[in-house]
Amino acid sequence: MPLKIAFIQFVYYEYLGVMYLSSCLKKNGHKVEVFICQGWRDTEAFVDEIAEYRPDIAGFSIMTGSEDAALEVARRIKARMQVYCIFGGPHPTFVPDIITNECVDCVCIGEAEHSLVSIAERLAAGESPEKTAGAWFKGDGKIIRNDIAELVNDLDSLPRPDRSLYRDKYKSMRSRRAGFILGRGCPFHCSFCANMALEKLYRGKGNYVRQRSVSEVIGEMKDVKKDYNIKTVYIRDDTFIINKDWVLEFCEAYRREIGLPFACHIRAESASEEVISALSSANCRTVSFGVETGSPDTRSLLLKKGVTDEQIIECARLLKKYGIRFRTFNMLGLPGETIDDAFGTVDINVRIGTDYPWCALFQPMPATELWEYCKTNNMFEAGSGSVQPSSFHDSPLALRNKNEIVNLQKLFFYAVRFPALRRPIRALVRIRPNLFYNLLFMFAHAWIYYNNDLVSFRDLLNVGFRNISRYLSPAGAGEGSRQGAAMRKYAP
């Protein structure tokens, strides 16, 4: 007997991970629907909508920072009906003890396509799912801690993501832009990123870094282009250009068979002239890459990024040579950072002529190396809750010149794009953090999203309106954190 699964999330966004899970579940005959609780919406009305669907399984997709909201919704659902609540995504993967909450029946750890289908099949058959690899369960008054499941080494074997899941239900998500995952995993070991922690979990469980075949990727893009009349493509891989031969093959096939403008993420040290030229010829319009900080020592020794100033400068030069605009990822509020250090991050972005300077406040994510560093050195501010709901509002760390650093994050775009404002901004950051600075940040962030991510103005209004609490209220869900977002793409 097929089950009804409700996926529940707290950001108005198409999660490719949820779409992959939906495809796997539907392939096995189950029914799937997604429910999005936006910041402005009444929680009880949201629970009413889920209750009307009468799901057998409620699957929560959780980033660190949104776990409290998820637990509250789960409690209310449990009070209304008999439903099996599964928590998955980055936060439960690294903090699986969330299962000790009464409203959580199961936690999926890591990539969950096979685990979730196995759980659904066993529940549908009236069997206990407690031996399912890649998940923790409650049973006989104790927690059953199963080992993480084997990785899916052949990504082509997975069904393509279920794009109808969002687009059929939410008319405003019928965007002319589509996102794609071309590979999974990252070979780098940045201390702030969840990828490093995830790779440790998967040691001995298969190849962590995997790539889909070019033919399969192009085939999916062709179908999506035809079915949804898309006009732009967003490649969501964290490290798109690390396999040069694959990228060159892909760019040639994409140029010949797809041709739409696209955006992607790159690494500065992998940006050779041959690769950037290939991206340009394939109609790559914008790229994003991490600068993180203007301090080479902090970038190398603390963040373990392994990218030098010279590589960043050369990457920017090549992108400008081939007419590709670029966004840089930056963090303020790193451990031990001063306001002078923070303005050093502004300076390197000015030097390379960043088109779209993006900046967040550092949030140490559970299980990462920097999380342990901050805990060991007692760097969390008393009462901070360790991780803030949003990386756009405040820092959980006890920093010198904290208010100035928080304000500079809001004004970072203007300091980079308009260098003549550097001196007045240096004075303005001394003012108490305020709503006006949040509004300035919101407008800058929207402009970057519109231009760098190749979205339409209609999409900008839809997404911006529904996620506005992330910019204006400290209670916004924590989707903005780059360092904790590594699994957003393909975890439940």
Q: Look up the CATH number of the domain holding residue 286.
A: 3.20.20.70
Look up residue 300 and give its DSSP letter.
Answer: I
Closest to 18 measured CA to CA, from 42, 35, 2:
35
Residue 472 in any domain: the answer is no
Domain residues for the domain of 195 are 175-455
Residue with tokens 């002319």: 176
The neighbour count for residue 245, using CB atoms within 10 Å, is: 7
Residue 163 in any domain: the answer is no
Radius of gyration of the chain (CA): 22
Q: Is there a contact between 362 and 290 (Cβ–Cβ < 8 Å)?
A: no
Q: Is there a contact between 108 and 17 (Cβ–Cβ < 8 Å)?
A: no
Structure confidence at residue 457 (pLDDT): 79
Using the 3D structure, point to which of 103, 128, 145 is the last residue of a domain. 145
Q: Are residues 385 and 304 in the same domain?
A: yes
Q: Are residues 128 and 197 in the same domain?
A: no
Q: Are residues 233 and 359 in the same domain?
A: yes
Say how far residue 124 (Cα) sits from the centre of its chain. Answer: 32
Q: Are residues 138 and 216 in the same domain?
A: no
Question: Residue 11: what are its φ and ψ, rounded to 5°?
Answer: -130, 135
> How many Å is the maximal CA-CA distance in the chain?
68
Q: Are residues 49 and 187 in the same domain?
A: no
The tens place of each residue's pLDDT in the chain, 492 residues long, gives: 899 999 999 888 899 999 999 999 999 999 999 999 876 568 899 999 999 999 999 999 998 888 999 999 999 999 999 999 999 999 999 999 999 999 999 999 999 999 999 999 999 999 999 999 999 999 888 999 999 999 999 999 999 999 999 999 998 889 999 999 999 999 999 999 989 889 999 999 999 999 999 999 999 999 999 999 999 999 999 889 999 999 999 999 999 999 999 999 999 999 999 999 999 999 999 999 999 999 999 999 999 999 999 999 999 999 999 999 999 999 999 999 999 999 999 999 999 999 999 999 999 988 899 999 999 999 998 766 566 656 777 889 999 899 999 999 999 999 999 999 999 999 999 999 999 999 999 999 989 988 998 888 777 777 666 666 555 554 444 444 444 444 333 333
Q: Are residues 141 and 179 in the same domain?
A: no
Residue 463 in any domain: the answer is no
Domain count, the chain: 2
| Token duo for residue 326 | 């670029």
Q: Are residues 63 and 138 in the same domain?
A: yes
Structure confidence at residue 475 (pLDDT): 45
Residue 275 in any domain: the answer is yes
Tell me the CATH number at 107: 3.40.50.280
Residue 486 in any domain: the answer is no
Question: What 3-state class would DSSP assign to 178?
Answer: strand
Residue 170 in any domain: the answer is no
Residue 288 in any domain: the answer is yes
Q: Is there a contact between 465 and 28 (Cβ–Cβ < 8 Å)?
A: no
Structure confidence at residue 468 (pLDDT): 60
- Residue 65, C-beta contacts closer than 8 angstroms, at least 6 positions apart: 91, 363, 387, 388, 389, 390, 477, 478, 479, 481, 484
Strand partners, 358: 329
Residue 18 in any domain: the answer is yes
